[in-house]
Amino acid sequence: MSQMKFEIPKIELMKSGHVACPGCGASMAMRYALKALGQNTMIVIPACCWAIIDGPSPCSVNGVPVFHTAFETAAITATGIKAGLSRQGDNDTTVMAWAGDGGTFDIGLQALSGAAERNEDIIYVCYDNEAYMNTGIQRSSATPWGAWTTTTPTKTPKSRPKKNIIDILLAHHIPYVATASVAYPDDFIRKMKKAKSIRGMKFIQILSPCPPGWKSAPEQSVHISRLAVNSKVFPLYEVEDGYRYKISLNHKNIPVEEYLKHQGRFKHLSKEQIKQIQVDTDTKWEVLMKKVEMGELFSEN
């Protein structure tokens, strides 16, 4: 069999009519997430793109209950809802916090850290589009080094590397942490289902292409996501119990330049700067490989 066949649940909880930009990665991500989690799900959305995408009150595009909340409170609101359901004797409903990188990496970090430390039984999904896209493409701590945003213009692009949110979450020793990509819906859905099956805190980071913010062509969103994975800028892996690392698929060896060149936000980069990004990416991949090895070492004992 030459072409991979998708094995994706047929159920469509997210409906048409949402107001995401054409080619939005976050809308694809929500579609897959709900396909995986099913009808018995509640979503908590803080201030982020998805607060708008879902539709104005009294409309919602998602066929499950959605609770809109303040920017910094996604994790704690989800915790509260889960506690409330539990108090009513409902331990089956999945509660998912669905926040952007601003609400996760920056302003919502304390609530997230708190929920993780308490090992609350929620799924926290960060759809990471690497800047405050909804308010006009301002830099966040998820914006990669060298990228253009409206607050890091091309003369002085972002001078600090992207925050490693996965490592922060792993430091809390929670049961399940994973990265996922909209270019690999099978893998995405498998991870969401796995997260649903685990009790305790789950964290999933999704690289979510943003055509207006990344200055990329809407039709290339899936293609760019695939390049991000295969250039190892955004490798796909999962970590169980804080140390058992598992790489999700065979990453092809694609130079980062392939990934960068499709995006206007990296257009100003010089050859040397691209080389620097390549070196950084390779180093991070090496480190990840070492962690995989160490995880194997511990698993044997």
Partner 1 sequence: MKKNALDFKEGMPVSAMSITDMSKNKTGSWRYMRPYYQNKTAPCIKGCPTGEKIPDYFDKVKAGKFEEAWHIILEDNPLPGVCGRVCYHPCEGACNRKDLDSPIAINNMERFVADQNMANGYPKHFHVEKTEMKIAIIGSGPAGLSAAYQLARKGHAVTIYESLAQPGGMLQMGIPKYRLPREVLKKEIKDIQTLGVKIKTKCTVGKDISWQNLQMSYDAVLIATGAIKSRPLNIPGEEKKGIAPGLQFLREFNLDDKKEIKRKVVVVGGGNTAIDCARSAVRLGADVTIVYRRSHKEMPAVPEEIEEAEAEGVKINYLTNPVEFIGDSRVRKIRLIRMELGEPDDDGRRRSVEVQGSEFEIEADQVMLAIGEIPALDFLPDSINAQWGRVDVDSFQMTNNRGVFACGDSANGPIGTVVDAIATGKNSAFTIDAFLNDKSYHFINNNNVVGFDKINLDYFHKEERPAEARSDQTKLTNNFSEVNLGLDKDQAKNEAERCFSCGYCTTCDTCLVFCPDVAITHSDNGAPYTINYDYCKGCGICVYECPRDAMAFEEEIKWKTE
Q: What is the C-alpha to C-alpha distance for residues 73 and 48, in angstroms, rounded to an integer?
A: 12
Q: Applying CB under 8 A, which of residues 82, 162, 172, 226 lies at the interface with partner 1?
A: 226
DSSP annotation string for 102-147:
IIIIITTHHHHHHHHHTT-S-EEEEEE-SSBTTTT-B--TTSPTT-
With H, G, I as helix, E, B as strand and everything else as coil, classify residue 178: strand
Note whether 20 and 49 are within 8 A (CB).
Answer: yes
Name which of 19 and 288 has its Cβ closer to partner 1. Answer: 19
Span 56-115, contacts to partner 1 by CB under 8 A: 57-61, 63, 66
Q: What is the C-alpha to C-alpha distance for residues 140 and 130, in angstroms, rounded to an integer?
A: 7
Axis crossing angle, helix 25-37 with helix 221-230, rounded to the nearest 10: 80
Establish if 17 lies at the interface with partner 1 (CB under 8 A).
Answer: yes
Q: Applying CB under 8 A, which of residues 2, 156, 159, 253 lies at the interface with partner 1?
A: 2
Locate 261 and state its tokens. Answer: 């060149």
Minimum Å gap between C-beta 214 and partner 1 is 14
Locate 36 and state its tokens. Answer: 């995986």
Establish if 55 lies at the interface with partner 1 (CB under 8 A).
Answer: yes
Q: Applying CB under 8 A, which of residues 70, 85, 109, 222 lies at the interface with partner 1?
A: 222
Name which of 6 and 159 has its Cβ closer to partner 1. Answer: 6
Establish if 11 lies at the interface with partner 1 (CB under 8 A).
Answer: no
Name which of 23 and 213 has its Cβ closer to partner 1. Answer: 23
The residue count of the chain comes to 301
Q: Binders of partner 1: how many residues, by CB under 8 A? A: 41
Locate 215 and state its tokens. Answer: 């200055």
Q: Applying CB under 8 A, which of residues 15, 160, 173, 199 lies at the interface with partner 1?
A: 15
Name which of 223 and 275 has its Cβ closer to partner 1. Answer: 223
Minimum Å gap between C-beta 84 and partner 1 is 13
Q: Applying CB under 8 A, which of residues 4, 87, 88, 156 lies at the interface with partner 1?
A: 4
Minimum Å gap between C-beta 186 and partner 1 is 9
Establish if 300 lies at the interface with partner 1 (CB under 8 A).
Answer: no
Minimum Å gap between C-beta 123 and partner 1 is 21
Establish if 232 lies at the interface with partner 1 (CB under 8 A).
Answer: no
Name which of 98 and 203 has its Cβ closer to partner 1. Answer: 98
- For residue 210, give the nearest of 162, 159, 285, 265 by alpha carbon: 265
Count of CA atoms in the C-beta half-sphere (13 A) of 209: 28
Span 135-194, contacts to partner 1 by CB under 8 A: 182, 185
Establish if 221 lies at the interface with partner 1 (CB under 8 A).
Answer: yes
Establish if 6 lies at the interface with partner 1 (CB under 8 A).
Answer: yes
Establish if 44 lies at the interface with partner 1 (CB under 8 A).
Answer: no
Residue 127: exposure state from Cβ atoms within 10 A (0-12, 13-18, ≥19)? buried
Q: What is the C-alpha to C-alpha distance for residues 211 and 154, in angstroms, rounded to an integer?
A: 18
Q: Applying CB under 8 A, which of residues 12, 117, 167, 293 lies at the interface with partner 1?
A: 12
Q: What is the C-alpha to C-alpha distance for residues 220 and 76, in angstroms, rounded to an integer?
A: 35
